[in-house]
A and B are shown apart, each in its own frame.
Chain A
Amino acid sequence: MATTAGPVSATGSYNFKVVLLGEGCVGKTSVVLRYVQDRFNEKHLTTLQASFMNKKINLGGKRVNLSIWDTAGQERFHALGPIYYRMSNGAILVYDITDEDSFQKVKNWVKELKKMLGSEICLIIAGNKVDLEKQRNVSVEDAEEYAKSVGAKHFHTSAKLNQGIEEMFLELSQRMLERAKENDQQKASSLGRAGSTRRNVVVVEDDEEAAQPKSGCCGGVSTVS
């Protein structure tokens, strides 16, 4: 299993895992739903399983496949967090701008993520429900300042009005791409050293004609593009 690293699928696109964290009722699910299906939690005919969703985007020729994982927000499931966020490339921490508590929760999550995953993970903090601006309980300055202090980007979103959500995912994807490329270069420079446990990214050249490795245990050839 020499070069098994990298979230690259058979067709040469990046696969990123994105987790949504935040207290229950802050609208995590609505955010994903709005992004992936462009719909808001209204009356629909069919039920929809929204715990796991896929979204394909193409950033200037780079194919990115986002696997968006919803996590359990209820307090009773708190201990299950690590099971969900392990191996993720990005995390979106959602809070409800009308609910100070949920912002505190976000801070706790950030602490936990930094502790468990280090700085490898790209963080985005989203103040959701800006359509309820009148009932705001978390001040914009506080939130943005905090986000800056932990190296996260802050977004104001509203799943209901479809505000800021696409931008947020776009930004996250770009960050993850950059991070992946950096890792890749690092890896290329320090090739041969015993692999770190972190996720590394290998870019597969699209028009790859080189011979497949005989063992066939991995479909990619690691070349930096």
Chain B
Amino acid sequence: MEVSYDEDLDENSFFQILRTDYNDLFLKAALEGWVICVPRSGSLPKYTLTHEDFFSHILIPSDELPGSHFRTLSDKEVRVCNRLITVEQNDISRPYSTHILFEETFYTDDLLKYKVLCVESPLERHADFSCGQYDETRILTVQTLRDCIDLLWTQSAGKEVLEKMDQAILNFLTVNSSLELETLQIQKDLVGRLYVSCLQIALKDARLREKSDEDKRLLENVKLSVETYVHHGIYKKLIKGITACTACDDASLNKIVRNLSDIQLQDLNVRSDLYETVPRARRELARIEGYSTVLGKIGCLKRMIAYISKPNLEVSCSERMSGNVIATDDLLPVVVFLIIKTSLPNWIAHLTYMRQFRFSSCYTCHIDEYSFFITTLEAAIEHIRSGILLGPSVPEAQYVYESESCEDGCNSWDMKTTKKSKSGRSEVVEKSCITYFFDQIRLGNVEKVQEILSKNQSSDNAKYSDSTLMKDNEDLLPRLCHPLCSCDRCESLLHKRLCDTSPTVHSTDDRGFTALHVACLFGHPHIVDLLLRSGSNVDALDYRGSTPLHYAAAKGHQNALLSLLHAGATISISDNDGNTSLHLASNNGHETCVKALLYFSEQTGSKLDANSENANGDTPLHHAARWGYESIVQILLEYGGRPDVQNKRHLTPMDNAHNLHVSKLLVSVNKTLPNSKPVRQDKESDNCADKGHTDIAAATKPPLDFTDESTRSSNGVMNKLRKKQWGIHPQSTEQMKKVEKLLRAIALGDIRLACFYVGLDGPVSDSNDSEMGPPSSVKSLCHPLCICEKCKPDVSDVSEDDSKLEKDILNINICNSDGFTPLHIASMHGHTDMVRLLLDAGAWINVMTKTRGLTALHLACQNQCTETAKLLLQCGDCDIDIQDLVGNSALHYASVTGNARLVELILKHSPVADLKNSSGKTPLDEAEEKMALTVVRLLRGGKTSPSLPWREKKEV
């Protein structure tokens, strides 16, 4: 473990005594070029030093291996290897070793030069030198957040300092609640001020001040620890703010990175012996997001670079070629590769955080090792940003080189033709080769492509009819001796024509690419047109199930894309990963293509679902939100992209958004959107509680330096397990009062007022139709952007909602002290419209009240609100068999009422009919007790044992 220890050797007592009291020895050593070892200050034994001690610390290099083998003046063997110094003992005891802390070369004014090694402990082991002494003066280095907390805890009087700092941080967060809206410089100043005040708090502690006055290094460490502690305290907010500031840069970087996502190590000319180091380094770098402090992030970078530089020892033992020194030229491409492959959506924000928010070491900030790590990252990001990895936009530059390599490709590609024509015409071979053909397409060489195509069209036909064969051979005629000649030369000429395997528009290469795929990949609209005219299959699939449309969209070639669409390409095809073209265009940030796809589908009425999910359950909006493409998010939202669809990891686009602008956009739309589709409601409850606030992914998973990995993975499990049993409790008394008002409004059936409280935009007539349809608020407008008289009120509603202070809006699942949510009250009073509105807005349907454990359905049944019950039952999530605290199910309550219609309704939804309540009664018992004969008949269902059939029916 490398420790960056430093001390001024001129102040080291051992070195001082050597130079004064043993000056002869010292001069001799310096003159002879011997190495002087100096134990670090604080590691020396207490008794006075003898000349023996000095003899044993002067090393004479051996003749053979002067770099690593030495003898001390007290005649002991010493070896130096990998910053470890080992002294062989003359007796049989184990060799003694200690670390070299640093090496310093001295040049005196009279041009004397000597080398000093500062070692961690004296080279001579003394009997009275107990180990206990080490611990007391252990070298202090803080490397993680935990180290920092430990240091602040142990070096000060206890938890007091930490508590005071917590208070200061908390204060800071409340005072600067809108930190994320400030500019970077203001953020930096504010955080800097917080750091200074926290440092003051730390140094007010008498013990800490005393100690750090004595030891400057401790002071440095205290500063670093305070800084780190502050970082940790405000990270959630700060990183949001930085991300907002760098949103634009991040989005453009993401676009480049996305488009490079299938880059290989070879493409970056990474040294092949470093390949093996990549996986480990990549794993390490992927963790960078989880560290909340600059120190933690730098540590992560450091480990990543260490992994690149030090491959697995087992593997590296196999002899490696020369050049095992990693220079910047070798390091950078690997880091570039790792950045591209680590899908962090806000690299620049993280970089800015690391560069701008180091307060504790301002003077060495730009030259120490830490800044080297940051600079490496910066350089790699800058390299990606420069865009040169994307290659020249006009590929003609590569023409010469490529055509050479093509020839090799040709030869291996088609052995038959090559063999045949080896004797003479390599030119023909070249033209017949599919690689050559694709290359011409890639280079956008329209004439060549046309030539090849026209040629093979004729030969295509030739296969089918003799007459065309004859006709086609007409151009050959002049070259024949005679039209009917059958000499060897003429035969071969004719024969070649027949066997010619020049590619057609349908030929595919090893990846299943057709010519059209290639043309779309490289975006040559003329060639795309040409190929389409020549009869290419517009929906051809390659080995990944991708159509040409996918490639045009992924690469952002709008012209090609439009050509394809006009030629009738199927817009909604998804590839093997379930990605539609819209997914790819959104993921890679091609705004023009996203627009083209959506407009076209709108114009022609072809079906393109803006919310289609790929194999990971991601919608295009998930992609666009994650990578921070603000404009694309906007377009997708206009076309009905839903910000509340959960992917397979239960994240909505809102959770995915890292950048403030995007998440605002999403949240504002989400609020105005009546949910026609019940969303999987298994998100964390506290998460939903502040949905009103802009919810950023970074905030939903609180990162902590050392527990991050475990918490994050367990979070996912927790999400799944946690069922929505209770409503959300109000945060303040004020809110509580408001909840009561809200519930009263609902009880009275004042839908408008209720909507106002929960931030919905009022009853919408057609909200409960198809699940997949576009959201009704958009549907009810003439056009998403329309501002005609009819649409205006809705639009203004939206903006009004927007401007409303978000915290004033109550969560839809809020409950009063008895656990009644709006849905309970509405169901109880049978306000069916209100219930529908609430369900659409994402109210949890199975929430129970506190005192009796009643669900909305129980209440509806109890109060014989048949219509309401029907609506509740129609909702897929509704659990019909929930029993309340006394064991009654909805069927119990319905049976008790004796309302036959209600019982019939419930039975339609196949409940478990023989559930027993706490008094041991089934619904049938209850009905019989109440003498409700129709109900009894219904429950019996004409059978003696009514329970089983229902249950079975449900399971089938």
Contacts and interface: CB of A to CB of B under 8 A. Distances in A.
A218 interface: yes
A60 B108 contact: yes
A215 B375 contact: no
A49 to B, nearest CB: 4
Contact of A218 (B319, B327, B362): B362
B309 A48 contact: yes
A24 B329 contact: yes
B472 interface: no
Given A47-B311, A47-B325, A67-B367, A79 B382 contact: yes
B185 to A, nearest CB: 14
A11 interface: yes
Interface residues of A, number: 68
A17 B372 CA distance: 11
Interface string B188-220: 000000001001100100000000010011011
Contacts of A73: 327-329
A39 to B, nearest CB: 7
A11 B216 contact: yes
A220 to B, nearest CB: 8
Interface stretch (A83-91, A129-137, A140-148, A183-191): A83-91
Contact of A59 (B107, B203, B319): B107
Nearest to B310: A47
Given A41-B323, A51-B326, A219-B219, A9 B105 contact: no
Q: Give the one of A7, A11, A55, A88 with max B CB within 10 A.
A: A11
Contact of A50 (B7, B217, B327, B375): B327
Nearest to B367: A17
B6 A51 contact: no
Contacts of A212: 213, 219
B885 to A, nearest CB: 60
B82 interface: yes
B322 interface: yes
B125 interface: no
Nearest to A220: B363
Contact of B8 (A13, A28, A38): A13
B199 A54 contact: no
Nearest to A49: B309
B326 A8 contact: no
B306 interface: yes
Q: Give the one of A15, A24, A215, A219 with max B CB within 10 A.
A: A219
Q: Give the one of A24, A61, A214, A217 with max B CB within 10 A.
A: A217
A29 B328 CA distance: 9
Interface string B52-89: 00000000000000010000000000000010000000
Interface string A180-222: 0000000000000000000000000010000010111111100
Nearest to A174: B107
15 contacts: A5-B363, A9-B6, A11-B7, A28-B327, A48-B324, A49-B308, A51-B326, A63-B8, A72-B332, A77-B329, A79-B386, A87-B366, A206-B8, A216-B199, A216-B200
Given A47-B326, A51-B331, A206-B11, 18 more contacts: A1-B362, A10-B219, A47-B316, A47-B325, A48-B309, A49-B310, A52-B372, A54-B102, A54-B369, A56-B6, A60-B107, A60-B108, A63-B8, A84-B328, A215-B196, A216-B200, A216-B223, A218-B362
Interface of B: 6-11, 67, 82, 102-109, 196, 199-200, 203, 213, 216-217, 219-220, 223, 305-306, 308-311, 316, 319-320, 322-329, 331-332, 359, 362-364, 366-369, 372, 375-376, 378-379, 382-383, 386, 388
Interface of A: 1, 4-13, 15-17, 24, 28-30, 33, 38-39, 41-44, 46-52, 54-61, 63, 65, 67, 69-74, 76-77, 79-80, 83-84, 86-88, 170, 206, 212, 214-220
What are the 9 tightest A-B residue pairs by CB atom distance, in nearest-first order? Answer: A49-B309, A17-B367, A87-B366, A52-B372, A29-B327, A56-B104, A47-B324, A51-B328, A58-B106
